A = this chain, B = another copy of it.
Amino acid sequence: MGGDYAPRNVVEGVLSCIRDPRCDFRVLLAGDDAEIRRHLPSPIPDGIEILSTVETVGMHDSVAVAMKQKRGSSMYVALEKQRDGEVQGFVSAGNTGAVMALSTLILGRLPGVERPTIGTFLPSQKGPVLLIDAGANVDSKPSHLAQFGIMGSVFTELMMQRPRPKVGLLNVGEEKSKGNDVSIDAWPLLDRADINFAGNVEGRDILKGTVDVVVCDGFTGNIILKFAESFPGLLKHKFLEFADRGPLHKIWTGLMGKTLKGMIRDWDYQEHGGVPLLGVNGISIIGHGSSTPKAIMNMIFRAKEMLDRRVNETIREAMASATTS
């Protein structure tokens, strides 16, 4: 029921999903029964069930409201179903803060994880790079950063099939003595962890693809992510400015624009389909509020993939042998 185009986009995404030949699972749609049915064919196709709920977490509801006053919300009830083992994954385009808080509250954390984290892929010269934490935590401790590194390494290894991915700590210089207090103290913890730690990386290394996983606090990660997402907008603006110079400029930029769009498709989050909340005892995928049906479909497939590739079991094992705090 969350997100800017709910439940329409969610239902359409689920329909694409169960019609996809890759689909080997069933989908439970939690939300207002009548609203959901409006977007479903009748009878309801095989593989889709409705879990009728009566409340909705609004996009501007506070985390406190979502946690305490809306225990009958689609989000709350669906996560309880996962906690109780009735479903194996959860996907939402709703209120991000509420998804994170409720997932942590209801599913619980994996042993050894102090703070669940969001990892998101950015494009680079060498393929997608995981930025972790991308905004789940605003004030991070060194031990949190070390755990982000371990979880990010597992996630990238299993989901991108890159054995022993290189993990870098985002910082202002290469030397381990560089940085703010948190990053200086995180360095030895990451170095000690059983990951392929490549030391500090700088802002310029992200898009270069120097490492596969870039570890940072969620404050920096969120700012970097939103900054990166705004690049295509600036480029488009420059294009339009150039096109305004005359009719030939206009034709020229029109032709160029098409090619360029194809080239920067990597920036299109709809293709990737949501980001996982790592470190909770379950699967929780968070999508943009404006997720398209395609993005919803991709989020569901990503949840299933995380299940199939045993991401949480592997994080559990990695955390058991780690001493990050």
Q: Which residues of A contact B (CB under 8 A)?
A: 123-125, 135, 138-139, 170-172, 178-181, 183, 202-208, 216-220, 222-231, 233-235, 237-239, 241-242, 252-253, 256, 259-260, 262-264
Cα–Cα, bound, A227→B123 (Å)? 12
Q: Is the CB of A233 within 8 A of B208?
A: yes
Q: How far is the CA of A262 from the CA of B253 in the complex (A)?
A: 13
Closest to A236 in B: B125
Q: Please state if A179 and B138 are interface contacts (CB–CB under 8 Å).
A: yes
Q: Are B138 and A180 in contact (CB under 8 A)?
A: yes
Residues A204 and B226 in contact, CB atoms below 8 Å apart: yes
List of B residues within 8 angstroms of A179 by Cβ: 138, 219
Known contacts A124-B234, A138-B179; A226 and B242 CB within 8 A of each other: no
Point out the residues of chain B lying under 8 angstroms from A181, CB to CB. Answer: 139
Can you identify 28 A-B contacts, CB atoms within 8 angstroms? A123-B234, A124-B234, A125-B233, A125-B237, A138-B179, A138-B180, A139-B180, A172-B222, A180-B217, A180-B219, A183-B219, A203-B222, A203-B225, A204-B227, A204-B230, A204-B233, A205-B230, A206-B227, A206-B230, A207-B227, A208-B230, A208-B233, A220-B223, A235-B263, A239-B263, A241-B263, A256-B256, A256-B259
CB distance from A221 to the nearest CB of B (A): 9
CB distance from A233 to the nearest CB of B (A): 7
**Given A204-B229, A227-B227: 8 more A-B contacts, CB < 8 Å:** A125-B233, A203-B226, A203-B230, A207-B234, A219-B220, A220-B220, A235-B235, A238-B263
Contact of A227 among B139, B224, B235 (CB under 8 A): B224
Q: Report the nearest B residue to A137, measured CB to CB.
A: B180
CA A123 to CA B224, docked complex, whole Å: 16
Cα separation A252 to B139 with both chains bound (whole Å): 47
Q: Cα distance A179–B135 when bound, in Å?
A: 10
Q: Name the residue on B nearest A239 (C-beta).
A: B263
A219, A230, A233, most chain B CB atoms within 10 A: A219
Q: Which of B125, B223, B241, B259 contacts A172 (CB 8 A)?
A: B223
User: Chain B contacts of A226 at CB under 8 A?
Assistant: 202-204
A230's contact among B135, B207, B262, by CB below 8 Å, is which? B207
Let me know if B230 and A228 touch, CB within 8 A: no
Q: State the CA gap A183–B238 with chains docked (Å).
A: 32
Closest 6 pairs (CB-CB, A-B): A203-B226, A203-B227, A204-B230, A203-B223, A207-B234, A238-B263
Q: Is the CB of A259 within 8 A of B242?
A: yes
How far does the alpha carbon of A252 sit from the alpha carbon of B223 in the complex, in Å?
A: 35
CA distance in complex: A214, B224 (Å) = 14
* Cα–Cα distance between A223 and B206 once the two chains are bound (Å): 10
Separation of A230 and B208 alpha carbons in the complex (Å)? 7
Pairwise interchain contact A223-B207, C-beta atoms closer than 8 A: no
Q: In the complex, what distance in Å separates the CA atom of A218 from the CA atom of B135?
A: 19
Q: Nearest chain B CB to A282's CB is how many angstroms away? A: 25
